[in-house]
């Protein structure tokens, strides 16, 4: 697998705070109750690449965007 | 007097009773405590008092207050506790001259306590004494109560009154009601013992008959458990175990099923009747409520899908339904059942209901309640409220199509995904998941295994594997229980790690919503999966010996014959162990209903949604191709390229794991009986498939009569 994920962010316009990512890693993904969106806590330990990709793949709205070191979008691949 | 007993003297005035708690609304100088006796509830616990004495207090009240005092006395009294009432007789001079005395009584005044009237449908007290009394409280020497202030009267007067009592009570009706003879009488004494009326329940949930009766009534069970936790009582009236699927839908309203439900309702005498409403049940709800109200006039509360999506369908002027509970019902129903009255201003403060306001003449939806965020506040569903021996018999429609003594279990609520054919979003109000703690789920499973001899669990959550750490925790904790289980999920929410862990923890089958083999269709439906993922996950399941069940949908909006072909191809490639097959129906509350169903359904037409044979025809036809959909279903079921020859319940007889489970089970003979009973069906299906596939070599024109025949025989329904 390697450490191919360079950057991960949540598209807050798409996010519906459904809880899928939060239920998988409640430390890295945190709910912003005010805006009712999920946000990333960059100070927390990043899940490994495989888990992160799996979580991004499960996101029902494709709001979790992960990029490789060249800045190319890996997921969602739409 | 027995000092251990808790006695209360209600409205004691100046008459103290030895060994009792003497209370009055004002300090009379003789009472132990001052309590506002006209505001209810009284400050004493239910079922806590041995004897309640009400000397002369009732005469100072209005009729409605008298009723409330008697009801409240009933509440605080223990079972078989004594209610003692002394009231002035209608003809007693005091009644006519004392300005504080509002009401006079006759012997008939206490008839209403016997029940069978609109105030008390059921008797609250068993009458012990109903006598005329010449003594009167103030005269002392009261033969009924040991009064502290009672002074001995002159011996002559005492003997005279004793004689008078004797004579008048020799024929109380005659002396008590005769204008001339009763003039000298002072009082009427009533004594009754509390009858336990736990038969009067707060709400009775009525289940409609279900053709297969496979799934437990979880909404009603969950509500029952929560209501009990909040001190309310609920029962579930379920005729399914009685009739075992042997009825027609029409029966549910007019036939034996209705008779059964009616008799049960008259037995339990519920304050409210609750009904779950699926859209297609609309006719049933209206017909049932109209019919049941002829026998038992309790307000009807509807809940579940249709009550949430479109409550106004039920709430209109002259409707037989009084309230609709929108969304999750637990908290709302408790508030509604505990509401002190049904005035609009009270109801408006209850979140999440819809009711008809007679003053403004319109249906009022109150503020939305939102979802229960923390599912751990909910107790375990009330499994004991239904006939579990029926719901745990080995049956084949729950896990795959093989026999298991299985109970479905929810570990969470809601679905985050946004498939356009699904109404989950509009039912829950949002796309989210809320999970119960795994320890609670394991507790529930242990309870089911030890109490009901359950051999298998079916996790009925829409997508069980959405939280990976949670699934792994569940696997670790269920493993020691050594029970088989199955779950349903999506191909994008699972990977080899999870499949392997689940298989090792006793999971025997995964059900996937494949729906279509055409990426175009999957994308159009916002399914959020790819055909690559489908193929990959089915491959992984095969690798780890996990049985698979694929649910397929045809008649998707804008479906072309090319998409159908792709479904055939993908299905042939993944070869699941079993399948679920359906024609898409646009239900109100789904996106495809809004977008692809131009001629909307009127509420009188909802019943059409229940008629499986109408699916895919006329306005229910959503696809763009002109293939005959019923032929398509038959072909899919009977095609040897797609389906194995024998149904799963026969194939599985050669599976060691299954046989071990049956052998170990306390229900092993029930399994044997169920399997033997179904063997002819299984072999007939195999014969049908052979004949059908032989005819496949002929052109469609020759095949068609066969397909029609198979269709008429119900092939598209059976497995």
Looking up residue B492, the CATH number of its domain turns out to be: 3.20.20.70
- The answer to whether B492 contacts A57, with C-beta atoms less than 8 Å apart, is yes
Least CB–CB distance from A24: residue in B431, B469, B492:
B469
| Bond before B422 cis per omega within 30 degrees | no
- Per-residue pLDDT at B96: 60
Using an 8 Å CB-CB cutoff, list chain B residues near A20.
416, 433, 466-467
Tell me B45's DSSP state: P
Disruptive mutation site among A14, A17, A49, A60 for chain B (greatest number of B CBs within 10 Å):
A60
- Per-residue pLDDT at B554: 94
Question: How far apart are the two ends of chain A, measured CA to CA in Å?
Answer: 22
Contact B365, B474 (CB under 8 A): no
* Residue A1, pLDDT above cutoff 50: no
| Tokens, residue B203 | 């709400």
- Evaluate whether residue B643 is within a structural domain: no
**B123-160 pLDDT, tens per residue?**
888 888 888 777 665 555 566 666 555 455 667 777 77
- The answer to whether B433 contacts A19, with C-beta atoms less than 8 Å apart, is yes
Q: In chain B, which residue's Cα lies nearest the Cα of A55?
A: B493
Q: In chain A, which residue's Cα lies nearest the Cα of B432?
A: A18
* Residue B107, pLDDT above cutoff 90: no
pLDDT band at residue B268 under the 50/70/90 scheme: confident
Q: Which of B152, B173, B194 is the last residue of a domain?
A: B194
Contact A20, A56 (CB under 8 A): no
Using an 8 Å CB-CB cutoff, list chain A residues near B493.
58
Least CB–CB distance from A54: residue in B433, B434, B468:
B468
| Tokens, residue B649 | 């319940």
Using an 8 Å CB-CB cutoff, list chain B residues near A75.
none
**B543-561 pLDDT, tens per residue?**
999 999 999 999 999 999 9
* Residue B495, pLDDT above cutoff 90: yes
pTM above 0.80, yes or no: no
Compute the average pLDDT of residues B696-712.
Answer: 76
Let me know whether B561 and B417 are in one domain.
Answer: yes
- Evaluate whether residue B670 is within a structural domain: no
In angstroms, the separation between the Cα of residue B520 and the nearest Cα of chain A is 13
Least CB–CB distance from A23: residue in B417, B418, B470:
B470
In angstroms, the separation between the Cα of residue B442 and the nearest Cα of chain A is 19
Q: Which of B342, B375, B408 is the last residue of a domain?
A: B375
Using an 8 Å CB-CB cutoff, list chain A residues near B417.
60
Give backbone dihedrals phi and psi of B70, rounded to 5 degrees, phi first: -70, -40
Report the range out of B2-16, B80-94, B198-212, B325-339 with the highest average pLDDT.
B325-339
Helix (H, G, I), strand (E, B) or coil at B666: coil
- Evaluate whether residue B380 is within a structural domain: no
- The answer to whether A20 contacts B469, with C-beta atoms less than 8 Å apart, is no
- Per-residue pLDDT at B145: 66
Contact A21, B467 (CB under 8 A): no
Compute the average pLDDT of residues B455-467.
Answer: 92
Tell me B18's DSSP state: T
- The answer to whether A24 contacts B495, with C-beta atoms less than 8 Å apart, is no
Using an 8 Å CB-CB cutoff, list chain B residues near A60.
416-418, 431, 528
* Residue B701, pLDDT above cutoff 80: no
In angstroms, the separation between the Cα of residue A60 and the nearest Cα of chain B is 5
- Per-residue pLDDT at B184: 58
Using an 8 Å CB-CB cutoff, list chain B residues near A25.
469
- The answer to whether A20 contacts B492, with C-beta atoms less than 8 Å apart, is no
Compute the average pLDDT of residues B85-92.
Answer: 80
The rounded mean pLDDT for chain B is 86
- Per-residue pLDDT at A55: 92
Using an 8 Å CB-CB cutoff, list chain A residues near B492.
57-58
- The answer to whether B431 contacts A60, with C-beta atoms less than 8 Å apart, is yes
CATH number of the domain residue B297 falls in: 3.40.50.2300
Number of H helices, E strands in chain A: 2, 5
Full DSSP string of B81-127:
EEEEEEEEBTT-HHHHH-TT----B-GGGGGGGG--SSS-SS-SEEE
Residue for token digits 């496949």? B696
Report the range out of B23-37, B118-132, B397-411 with the highest average pLDDT.
B397-411
Polymer length in residues for chain B: 719
How many structural domains are present in chain B? 3
Let me know whether B210 and B180 are in one domain.
Answer: no
Give backbone dihedrals phi and psi of A39, rounded to 5 degrees, phi first: -125, 160
- Per-residue pLDDT at B208: 83
Let me know whether B227 and B148 are in one domain.
Answer: no
The span from the CA of B608 to the CA of B615, in Å, is 9
Lowest-pLDDT range of B40-49, B293-302, B490-499: B40-49
- The answer to whether B417 contacts A60, with C-beta atoms less than 8 Å apart, is yes
| Tokens, residue A15 | 């996010």
- Evaluate whether residue B676 is within a structural domain: no
Compute the average pLDDT of residues B597-620.
Answer: 82
The span from the CA of A71 to the CA of A73, in Å, is 6
Let me know whether B447 and B595 are in one domain.
Answer: yes
* Residue B177, pLDDT above cutoff 80: no
The span from the CA of B187 to the CA of B170, in Å, is 16
The span from the CA of B528 to the CA of B513, in Å, is 11
- The answer to whether A58 contacts B434, with C-beta atoms less than 8 Å apart, is no
pLDDT band at residue B40 under the 50/70/90 scheme: confident
Q: With helix as H, strand as E and coil as C, how does B445-503 read?
A: HHHHHHHHCCCEEEECCCCHHHCHHHHHHHHHHHHHHCCEEEEEECHHHCCHHHHHHHH
Question: Percentage of residues in chain B with pLDDT exceeding 70?
Answer: 90
* Residue B474, pLDDT above cutoff 70: yes
Tell me B600's DSSP state: P
Helix (H, G, I), strand (E, B) or coil at B300: strand
Using an 8 Å CB-CB cutoff, list chain A residues near B501.
none
Size of interface A-B (CB pairs under 8 A): 43
Let me know whether B45 and B142 are in one domain.
Answer: yes
- Per-residue pLDDT at B347: 92
B244, with CB counted inside 10 A (0-12, 13-18, 19+), is exposed
**B421-449 pLDDT, tens per residue?**
998 888 888 888 899 999 999 999 999 99
Cα–Cα nearest to A38, from A56, A49, A50, A48: A56
- The answer to whether A19 contacts B469, with C-beta atoms less than 8 Å apart, is no
Contact B424, B445 (CB under 8 A): no
**A17-72 pLDDT, tens per residue?**
888 999 999 999 999 988 889 999 999 998 998 999 899 989 999 899 998 888 88
- The answer to whether A19 contacts B434, with C-beta atoms less than 8 Å apart, is yes
Using DSSP bridges, classify how beta strands B7-10 and B49-55 pair: parallel, antiparallel or unpaired: parallel
Disruptive mutation site among B416, B417, B463, B524 for chain A (greatest number of A CBs within 10 Å):
B416
Cα–Cα nearest to B93, from B164, B208, B186: B186
Number of H helices, E strands in chain B: 26, 22
**B624-658 pLDDT, tens per residue?**
999 988 888 888 988 888 999 998 999 999 999 99
pLDDT band at residue B315 under the 50/70/90 scheme: very high
Least CB–CB distance from B433: residue in A18, A54, A61:
A18
Nearby residues of B655 by Cβ (< 8 Å), 6 or more positions away: none
- The answer to whether A16 contacts B492, with C-beta atoms less than 8 Å apart, is no
pLDDT band at residue B613 under the 50/70/90 scheme: low
In angstroms, the separation between the Cα of residue B493 and the nearest Cα of chain A is 6
| Bond before B41 cis per omega within 30 degrees | yes
Let me know whether B311 and B452 are in one domain.
Answer: no
- Evaluate whether residue B428 is within a structural domain: yes
* Residue B476, pLDDT above cutoff 60: yes
- Evaluate whether residue B639 is within a structural domain: no
Let me know whether B90 and B183 are in one domain.
Answer: yes
Nearby residues of B14 by Cβ (< 8 Å), 6 or more positions away: B28, B29, B30, B149
Contact A15, A61 (CB under 8 A): yes
Let me know whether B334 and B416 are in one domain.
Answer: no
- Per-residue pLDDT at B367: 94
CATH number of the domain residue B178 falls in: 3.40.50.150
The span from the CA of B142 to the CA of B146, in Å, is 7
Using an 8 Å CB-CB cutoff, list chain B residues near A61.
418
Q: In chain A, which residue's Cα lies nearest the Cα of B466?
A: A20
- The answer to whether B430 contacts A54, with C-beta atoms less than 8 Å apart, is no
Least CB–CB distance from A19: residue in B416, B469, B493:
B416
Q: In chain A, which residue's Cα lies nearest the Cα of B494?
A: A54
Let me know whether B119 and B179 are in one domain.
Answer: yes
Let me know whether B344 and B434 are in one domain.
Answer: no
Compute the average pLDDT of residues B36-62.
Answer: 85
- The answer to whether A58 contacts B466, with C-beta atoms less than 8 Å apart, is yes
In angstroms, the separation between the Cα of residue A43 and the nearest Cα of chain B is 21
Using an 8 Å CB-CB cutoff, list chain A residues near B432.
16-19
Q: At what angle are helices B561-574 and B531-543 packed, to 10 degrees?
A: 20
Lowest-pLDDT range of B66-70, B122-126, B247-251, B484-488: B247-251
- The answer to whether A23 contacts B433, with C-beta atoms less than 8 Å apart, is yes
Compute the average pLDDT of residues B173-182.
Answer: 61
In angstroms, the separation between the Cα of residue A71 and the nearest Cα of chain B is 24
Using DSSP bridges, classify how beta strands B362-365 and B353-357 pair: parallel, antiparallel or unpaired: antiparallel
Integer CA distances (angstroms), B472 to B96, B467, B468, B504, in order: 81, 9, 6, 11
The span from the CA of B469 to the CA of B454, in Å, is 27
Let me know whether B190 and B209 are in one domain.
Answer: no
The span from the CA of B382 to the CA of B396, in Å, is 23
Contact B165, B134 (CB under 8 A): yes
Domains of chain A: 5-75 (3.30.70.20)
Residue B183 sits in which domain range?
Answer: 7-194
Let me know whether B14 and B132 are in one domain.
Answer: yes
The beta strands (E) that lie in B118-245 are given as: 125-133, 187-194, 203-206, 234-237
Q: Which of B149, B170, B194 is the last residue of a domain?
A: B194
């Amino acid at each position: 697998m390697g450490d191919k994920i360079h950057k991960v962010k949540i598209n807050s316009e798409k996010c519906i705070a459904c809880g899928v990512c939060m239920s998988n890693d409640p430390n890295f993904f945190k709910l912003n109750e005010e805006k009712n969106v999920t946000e990333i806590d960059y100070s927390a330990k990043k899940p490994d690449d495989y888990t992160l990709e799996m979580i991004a793949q499960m996101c029902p709205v494709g709001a979790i965007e992960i990029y490789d070191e060249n800045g190319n979008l890996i997921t969602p691949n739409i | 007097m027995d000092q251990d007993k808790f006695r209360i003297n209600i409205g004691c005035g100046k008459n103290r009773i030895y060994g009792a708690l003497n209370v009055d609304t004002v300090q009379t100088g003789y009472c132990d405590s001052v309590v506002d006796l006209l505001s209810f509830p009284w400050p004493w616990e239910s079922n806590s008092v041995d004897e309640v004495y009400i000397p002369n207090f009732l005469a100072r009240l209005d009729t409605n207050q008298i009723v409330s005092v008697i009801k409240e006395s009933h509440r605080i009294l223990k079972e078989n506790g004594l209610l003692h009432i002394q009231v002035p007789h209608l003809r007693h001079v005091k009644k006519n001259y004392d300005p504080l005395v509002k009401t006079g009584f006759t012997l008939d005044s206490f008839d209403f306590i016997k029940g069978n009237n609109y105030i008390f449908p059921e008797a609250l007290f068993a009458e012990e004494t109903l006598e005329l009394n010449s003594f009167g409280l103030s005269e002392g020497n009261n033969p009924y109560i040991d009064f502290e202030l009672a002074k001995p009267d002159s011996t002559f007067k005492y003997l005279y009154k004793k004689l008078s009592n004797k004579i008048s009570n020799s024929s109380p009706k005659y002396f008590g009601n005769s204008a001339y003879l009763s003039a000298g009488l002072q009082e009427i004494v009533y004594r009754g013992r509390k009858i336990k009326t736990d038969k009067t329940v707060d709400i009775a949930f009525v289940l409609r008959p279900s053709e297969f009766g496979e799934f437990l009534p979880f909404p009603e069970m969950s509500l029952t458990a929560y209501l009990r936790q909040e001190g309310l009582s609920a029962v579930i009236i379920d005729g399914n175990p009685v009739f075992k699927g042997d009825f027609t839908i029409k029966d549910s309203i007019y036939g034996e099923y209705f008779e059964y439900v009616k008799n049960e309702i008259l037995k339990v005498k519920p304050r409210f009747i609750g009904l779950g409403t699926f859209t297609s049940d609309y006719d049933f709800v209206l017909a049932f409520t109209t019919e049941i109200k002829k026998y038992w006039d309790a307000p009807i509360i509807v809940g579940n899908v249709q009550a949430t999506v479109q409550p106004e369908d039920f709430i209109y002027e002259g409707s037989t339904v009084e309230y609709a509970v929108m969304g999750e019902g637990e908290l709302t129903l408790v508030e509604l059942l505990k509401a002190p009255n049904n005035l609009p201003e009270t109801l408006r403060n209850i979140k999440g209901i819809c009711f008809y306001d007679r003053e403004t003449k319109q249906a009022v939806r109150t503020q939305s309640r939102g979802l229960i965020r923390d599912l751990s506040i909910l107790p375990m569903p009330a499994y004991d409220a239904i006939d579990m021996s029926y719901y745990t018999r080995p049956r084949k429609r729950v896990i795959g199509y093989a026999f298991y003594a299985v109970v479905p279990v929810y570990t969470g609520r809601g679905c985050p995904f946004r498939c356009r054919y699904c109404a989950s979003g509009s039912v829950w109000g949002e796309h989210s998941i809320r999970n119960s703690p795994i320890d609670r789920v394991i507790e529930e499973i242990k309870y089911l295994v030890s109490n009901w001899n359950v051999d298998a669990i079916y996790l009925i959550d829409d997508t069980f594997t959405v939280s990976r750490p949670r699934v792994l925790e569940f696997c670790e904790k269920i493993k020691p229980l050594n029970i088989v289980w199955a779950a349903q999920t999506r191909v994008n929410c699972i990977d080899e790690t999870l499949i392997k862990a689940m298989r090792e923890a006793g999971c025997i089958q995964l059900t996937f919503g494949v729906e279509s083999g055409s990426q175009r269709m999957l994308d159009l439906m916002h399914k959020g999966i790819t055909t690559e993922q489908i193929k990959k996950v089915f491959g992984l399941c095969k690798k780890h010996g996990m049985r698979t069940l694929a649910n397929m949908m045809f008649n998707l909006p804008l479906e072309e014959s090319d998409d159908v072909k792709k479904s055939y191809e993908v299905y042939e490639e993944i070869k699941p162990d079993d399948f679920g097959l359906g024609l898409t129906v646009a239900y109100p509350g789904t996106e495809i209903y809004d977008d692809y169903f131009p001629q909307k359904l009127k509420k009188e037409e909802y019943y059409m949604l229940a008629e499986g044979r109408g699916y895919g025809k006329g306005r229910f036809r959503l696809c763009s191709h002109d293939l005959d959909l019923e032929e398509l279903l038959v072909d899919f079921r009977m095609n040897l390229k797609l389906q194995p020859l024998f149904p799963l319940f026969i194939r599985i007889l050669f599976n060691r794991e299954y046989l071990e489970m049956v052998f170990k089970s306390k229900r092993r003979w029930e399994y044997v009986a169920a399997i033997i009973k179904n063997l002819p069906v299984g072999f007939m299906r195999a014969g049908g498939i052979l004949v059908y596939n032989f005819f496949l070599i002929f052109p469609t024109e020759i095949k068609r009569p066969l397909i029609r025949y198979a269709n008429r025989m119900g092939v598209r329904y059976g497995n």
